[in-house]
Amino acid sequence: MSRLKDKVAIVTGAGGGQGKEEAILFAKEGAKVVVTDIQEDKVKEVVSEIKENGGFAIGFYHDVSSEEQWEQVVKDSIAEFGKVDVLVNNAGISDAGEAFHEISLEKWQRTQNINLTGTFLGMKHVIPNMLEHGGGSIVNISSIAGLTGGSGASSYTASKGGVRMLTKAVAIDYAKQNIRVNSVHPGYIETPMTTELFQNDEYRGWFESQTPLPRLGKPGDIANAVLYFASDESSFVTGVELPVDGGYYAQ
């Protein structure tokens, strides 16, 4: 269990769901993990779980839409662990269920600020340190909504499509400096954010019908894909988009 031995990783939105699974898996694989989220109690729980299992972790309250907070998180991470090798831009929100013409500007901007601008800020503030020590890996969590259109979630879809293309642009910009940037595109995943939705048998049946494999996804499915990109196993892979969706995008 040493695929990330001696690496330092920041994982945002790691208080629960996919981010928590990523942080715990990274620690098991030898990384020193920086756990961030706006849910301070959840951050403490994840950090404690990692430490109780022999891993190394610190945690911070972190609003990813705040440049000031990004600056502080990166500064404190370097002060504690000496560098940043891996960044996982996992934090995000969903806005499904509202007609496009009824979305307020405030709601539109909040979705973009967290999902897209948060990803921009994370990369902006870790890349200088990665340049200093010879490279790194950035994994941006997009969505199948960043690959295909869908009704009822236009601002979310726009933000995740932006993450997809921003990933490709930055991957090209820094490839010569050995900084790899890739995106993961989850399909329908059972997380705390989707629990209430999937408890409705009708809705659950519809989402299952859209997924060719015979089940919905689990947070661990995403964590394993992110681990691959974070590790040196993907050292010749940059600028790619990986759907982890049970076959949805293949249809």
Mind listing the pLDDT tens digit for each residue in 112-149? 999 999 999 999 999 999 999 999 999 999 999 999 98
pLDDT given at position 148: 93
CB 42 within 8 A of CB 16: yes
- Return the beta strands (E) in 84-210 as ranges: 86-89, 136-141, 179-186
Give the tens place of pLDDT for each residue, 65-109.
Answer: 999 999 999 999 999 999 999 999 999 998 777 889 999 999 999
Is residue 117 included in any domain, yes or no?
Answer: yes
By percentage, how much of the chain surpasses pLDDT 70? Answer: 100
In this structure, is residue 67 part of a structural domain? yes
Residue with tokens 């040493």: 2
With respect to residue 1, please indicate whether it lies within any of the assigned structural domains. Answer: no
Q: Dihedral through CA 88, CA 90, CA 70, CA 155, nearest 10?
A: 140
In a domain? residue 100: yes
Task: Answer whether residue 42 is part of any domain.
Answer: yes
Candidates 156, 191, 157, 179; CA nearest to 234 is: 179
pLDDT at 96: 74
Residue 155 is inside which H or E element, if any?
A: helix 154-174
pLDDT at 32 (0 to 100): 98
Dihedral of alpha carbons 239, 244, 247, 251, sign: negative
> Tell me, what CATH number does 231's domain have?
3.40.50.720
Q: Over the stretch 9-26, which tens digit does the pLDDT of each residue have? A: 999 999 999 999 999 999
* Residue 229 in domain: yes
Is the pLDDT at 55 greater than 80? The verdict is yes
Q: Return phi, psi of residue 242, to 5°.
A: -115, 105
Angle at 139 between CA 229 and CA 174, to 5 degrees: 95
3-state secondary structure at position 136: strand
Distance from C-alpha of 118 to C-alpha of 212, rounded to nearest angstrom: 32
Residue 150 has pLDDT above 80, yes or no: no
Identify the domain containing residue 25 by its residue range.
Answer: 8-250
Catalytic amino acids?
A: 156
Residue scoring higher pLDDT (192 or 3):
3
Q: Please give the average per-residue pLDDT across 198-223, as a whole number.
A: 90
Residue 152 has pLDDT above 90, yes or no: no
In the block, tokens 């048998």 appear at 201
**Average pLDDT for the chain:** 95
Q: How many domains does the chain have?
A: 1
In a domain, 2, yes or no: no
Q: Token pair of 197, please?
A: 């939705």
> For position 201, what pLDDT does the model report?
82
- For residue 37, count CB atoms less than 10 angstroms from its CB and return exposed for 0-12, middle for 13-18, buried for 19 or more: buried
pLDDT tens-digit map of 24-42: 999 999 999 999 999 999 9
Residue 3 domain-assigned (yes or no) = no
d(CA 251, CA 244): 14
Measure the CA–CA gap between 100 and 46, rounded to whole angstroms: 37
